[in-house]
Amino acid sequence: MQKRILTLGVATLLSISCFAQNKLPKNANAVKFSQAINPTDAYKHLSILASDEFEGRDTGKKGAWMAADYIRDYFKSIGLKGPVDGGYFQKVDLINYAISQSLFTINGQPKEANKDFIIGTAAVGLNGFTFNTNDIVFAGYGISKDGYNDYDGINVEGKVVMIFANGDPTVKATDKMDARMAKMALGRKIFYLTQNKAKAVILIDPKIDNITDHYKESFLESDVMVKNEETTKRMQKQHPFVSISISTATANEIFKIAGTSIDAVQGKIMSTMKPASQNIEVAISASAMKTEMSVRGENVLGFLEGSDPKLKKEVLVLTGHYDHIGITPDVEGPDKINNGADDDGSGTTGVLLMAKAFMNAKKAGKGPKRSILFMTVIGEEKGLWGSEWYSEHPVFPLENTIANLNTDMIGRIGEEYLGKPDSANYIYSIGSNMLSTELGKLSEQVNNTYTKMKLDFKYDDPKDPERIYYRSDHYNFAKHNIPIIFYYDGMLQQDYHRPGDEVSKINFQLLTKRAKLTYFTAWELANRAKRPVVDKK
């Protein structure tokens, strides 16, 4: 008995000493089971999730469904339970509005949709559109600037205007625009017409002549959206500017009526460097309708029930978003797939690794006292949809949710740390002190005990111009006064939302160290006597 008392006394002294040094007593079991979080397994997961086969995991697309299936199957294989009526998918009610029919006629002669002309879903409101006109305004390249104005002396209000989709006669041929610049230039042309109350625009687009599947999809695939009252009201009020793209052959039919051609008007503009705008008497009619379609989308949930009869009703939620932005058909270069290895294949991988670590502990009889929900969410890139859906339709009561630890981009070195001594040993820790002083202190104690990384709190600044605190899934827990920590690598420029965000650029040692910091923090939260106190709003 004396030996036991002595042992307890030493343990107490060690504990007091650790807290005095802003540390926790190291838990041998936590360290033992953290071995499941390793670069080898991280690579196995991420090389699949961020492969070309998954097509950038765009919400509502095949690649995202493949990712959801992969995550579900993995959760099931390691023994996590499906908490949604026995399943692992929480359906998020997603819809899009696809073009159901479209019409374009010249002097009563119908043209063939998606060959002679194409009407994009973005140009069609919820209730569709129709118009008829007996004359149109041809306004060259649709440019209005000092020294050259296709609209000089022309009032476009209430008119159907035809322009070249691309090009600018005042720009030298050597100053070629890339796809992004061309899209911005077209946006400025359309903005001018909307501001000046034109009825519609007909865009002469040579890409329609031999339209590729990807280019066609960029017109016909509408943005997926969450179906709720707010979205429906917004769509009903929306009156988008009508835009119709036509082939050069279709354009020449119209020009022929005016006794000219594309080559003739372009040649005249280039030789004189003056606009060749004119009114063309031609009967044009156009219409399009939309149909609502349901789209598959789901959060993937795996549940580990706590071992303590009193504490297991309390739930810690670990999140990462598995979606990305898909394929960009008009990007320069042969690689058009945005693989999203870092954003957020890395954070999703972190969640899978932590799930394995905790399940190994559970199987060895060392599982957490509180329950843990491992949740990878959809639609983050669209507007934090999946996490918002969960916060509005929680599987476990929000009042029983003690905290959310969110990993979103944990696999690379951000711009501010490139070439610096801490480049391979830092993480931006965001929001740990926003709602709970206690959680903030615990986070630092865990780091000082286990991982000894540099915690950068830059983005906790209320004046942060990037507003990072509001830009990932943790925010949908924070707004319900649930304490959160958001772990982030700070990559905002290099390859961000570009095809260059590839698996080959991931630092797997750094990814796993950051995932371990999250895991050790989760271990403490899931096993300590009390949940973190919320003392701020």
pLDDT value at residue 1: 34
pLDDT value at residue 339: 98
Mean pLDDT within 526-531: 98
Residues 489 and 354 in one domain: yes
Residues 40 and 87 in one domain: yes
Identify the domain containing residue 519 by its residue range. Answer: 29-92+297-370+380-527
Residues 73 and 155 in one domain: no
Residues 444 and 339 in one domain: yes
The percentage of residues in the chain with a pLDDT greater than 90, rounded to a whole number, is 80
Q: Residue 143: what residue type?
A: I
pLDDT digits (tens, 9 = 90+) for 65-114: 999 999 999 999 999 999 999 999 999 999 988 888 899 999 999 999 99
Q: Which residue, of 294, 327, 358, is where some domain finishes?
A: 294
pLDDT value at residue 14: 39
For tokens 């499906």, name the residue: 82
DSSP state of 245: E
Mean pLDDT within 336-357: 98
Cα 454 to Cα 184: distance, rounded to the nearest angstrom: 40
Q: What's the total number of domains in the chain?
A: 2
Q: What's the per-residue H, E or C state across 85-102?
A: CCECEEECCEEEEEEEEE
Residues 411 and 508 in one domain: yes
Say which range, 1-15, 493-507, 519-533, has the weakest mean pLDDT: 1-15
H helices present in 197-333, as ranges: 213-220, 229-237, 248-257, 262-272
Residues 215 and 325 in one domain: no
The answer to the question of residue 19 being in a domain is no
Non-local (6+) Cβ contacts of 467 within 8 A are none
pLDDT value at residue 148: 94
109 three-class SS: strand
The token pair at 28 is 């041998």
The answer to the question of residue 38 being in a domain is yes
Name the pTM for this structure. 0.81
Mean pLDDT within 455-460: 98
The residue among 315, 434, 326 whose CA lies nearest residue 375 is 315
Q: Which residue, of 230, 263, 294, is where some domain finishes?
A: 294
Q: Phi/psi of residue 113, each to 5°?
A: -65, 140
- Residue 21: is its pLDDT beyond 60? no
pLDDT value at residue 8: 38
pLDDT band at 177 (very low <50, low <70, confident <90, very high): low
pLDDT digits (tens, 9 = 90+) for 367-421: 999 999 999 999 999 999 999 999 999 999 999 999 999 999 999 999 999 999 9
Residues 180 and 73 in one domain: no
The token pair at 405 is 């630890």
pLDDT value at residue 173: 61
Neighbouring-strand partners of residue 316? 372, 403
Q: Which residue, of 294, 309, 332, is where some domain finishes?
A: 294
The answer to the question of residue 18 being in a domain is no
328 three-class SS: coil
Residues 104 and 228 in one domain: yes
Report the mean per-residue pLDDT for the chain. Answer: 92
- Residue 485: is its pLDDT beyond 80? yes
Residues 240 and 340 in one domain: no
